[in-house]
Amino acid sequence: MNLISNQISCLKGEALCPGDKSISQRILILGSLLNSNLIIDGFLDANDPNSTLNALNKIGASILKKDGKIILFKREKNFLQPEEDLDLGNSGTGARLILGLVSGLGLNTRLVGDSSLSNRPMLRVVNPLKDMGVDIETNDGKLPVKTSGGEINNFFEYKMPVASAQVKSCLILAALSSNKEIKIFEPKKTRDHTERMIEYFGGDIKYGDSKNPGEIKLNKTKLKSRNVYSIVGDFSSASFIIVAALIAPKSNVIIRNVGLNKTRNGLIKVLLSMGASLKITNKKTKCNEEVGDILVTSSKLNSVIVPEKIIPNIIDEIPILSIAASFAEGKTIIKNASELKIKESDRLHAISDGLLKLKINHELFYDGLSIEGHDRQIDTNEIIDSYDDHRIAMSFLVAGIRSKKGITVKDCKNIETSFPNFIEIMNNLGMSIDEKN
């Protein structure tokens, strides 16, 4: 599916932020471990979370979608050895977190995915799982991955060489599902939805002090059941609306129910330093996650050198930040972001290729980009390749707001993996996105 995004005069209105993809997948896994009746509100009904849901049902979870909600039922039996492959589709989060779960449960499984996921590295979780005692095999470090039981070591300690919330969560879930203790050291703070969720259900997690700031310890714990879990809005999805409103003229947009977890909302700090007009209201805590509304108005942006320490907290937002930087006066520099090379696509290359076609001066580094921005209109009719990556597709569609001839992005069906109502929400606010043959 190819889409074209056209120049507009303004963005106005309100949007309800879709449910958080990362939290949607985590609550399915932790909710299944609870083995009690649980209703989930705000679930992101998109391809990635649905792949996780289907994989869990294949190992004996009892999860039902009904009337826009997710219902988890108490099981009468333990988790089962699956009779077929666990297909996680395009979801790297789903694959790595499910791998931790089945490892801790001692199940014999074979995890597979689509062509994109099958090319993503798995050794970053497989190697520490082996050290924990899991019998596990890979296809040259990639999917398919087979687990064949094993005995999880108690009091396992792991110092993460690279900051990764997926690795951290995988190992925590392996320990939790095997009723073992674990201590992890992360070099930089990454998204902490797993830890917050475990705490919400009564789990015992301790954190290091100023001398050991990256330490996370999960003690032996039995999770307590709750009746309802409400998922906050996905900040990564909100980021596309935020940047669209910033670069569009005469815009005034309110985004409701946005997750404001401090390990996820680093883009707000970056955009504020660029001169963005952003205001957060109605702040509260929901299921141990911060949430609020964001008011965005058109802004004249300036360039910035993005602090390296914030990169792990904005890694998914760098594609759309690159679009903001393209319309900010001066040179924006983003470095220490080599993690982008092993996402759904090599996002650094994909961003660079798109900027080249839009005639935006930039330089591609091994671990980042520098972008020469200007407050201008784009005048080009090149077709942008999404590289089958949802965040690349949505980012360059947002850039179409400032294009005299519109911007065509090819292969946009991937948007359904994380933000299935993206076109509807953006067009309701005033964007002009249409299918193009």
Q: What is the pLDDT at residue 68?
A: 82
pLDDT band at 193 (very low <50, low <70, confident <90, very high): very high
Catalytic annotation present for 389: no
List, for residues 166-175, the tens digit of each pLDDT value.
999 999 999 9
pLDDT at 207: 94
| Residue among 293, 228, 223 nearest 254 (CA) | 293
**DSSP character for 19?**
B
Write out the residue limits of the CATH 3.65.10.10 domain(s) in the chain: 3-19+232-435, 21-230
Where would I find the H helices in 248-382? Answer: 266-273, 311-314, 318-326, 347-357
pLDDT bin (cut points 50, 70, 90) of residue 47 is very high
The one catalytic residue in 20, 114, 316, 385 is: 316
Confidence of residue 145 (pLDDT cuts 50, 70, 90): very high
What confidence score (pLDDT) does residue 436 get?
A: 84
Q: What is the rounded CA–CA span in Å between residue 135 and residue 364?
A: 40
pLDDT digits (tens, 9 = 90+) for 85-114: 999 999 999 999 999 999 999 999 999 999
Q: Which residues of 356-390 are buried (b: 16+ CB within 10 A; e: fewer)?
A: ebbebebeeeeebbbbbbeeeebeeeeebbbbbbb
pLDDT beyond 90 at 213:
no
The pLDDT value recorded for residue 394 is 98
Is pLDDT above 80 for 437? no
Architecture of domain 21-230: Alpha-beta prism (3.65)
Would you call 325 helix, strand, or coil by DSSP? helix
CA dist., res. 137 & res. 39, Å (int): 35
Residue indicated by tokens 């004249």: 300
**What per-residue confidence (pLDDT) applies to 359?**
96
| Bridge partners, 281 (sequence order) | 293
pTM: 0.96
Q: In 249-300, where does DSSP find H-type helix?
A: 266-273
Is 3-19+232-435 a domain of CATH 3.90.1720.10? no
Angle at alpha carbon of residue 1, lines to 55 and 65, rounded to 5°? 30
CB 263 within 8 A of CB 313: yes
pLDDT band at 209 (very low <50, low <70, confident <90, very high): confident
Cα separation, 335 vs 367, in Å, equals: 5
Average pLDDT over every residue of 288-314: 97
pLDDT at 67 over 90: no
**Distance separating alpha carbons of residues 247 and 398, to the nearest angstrom:** 9
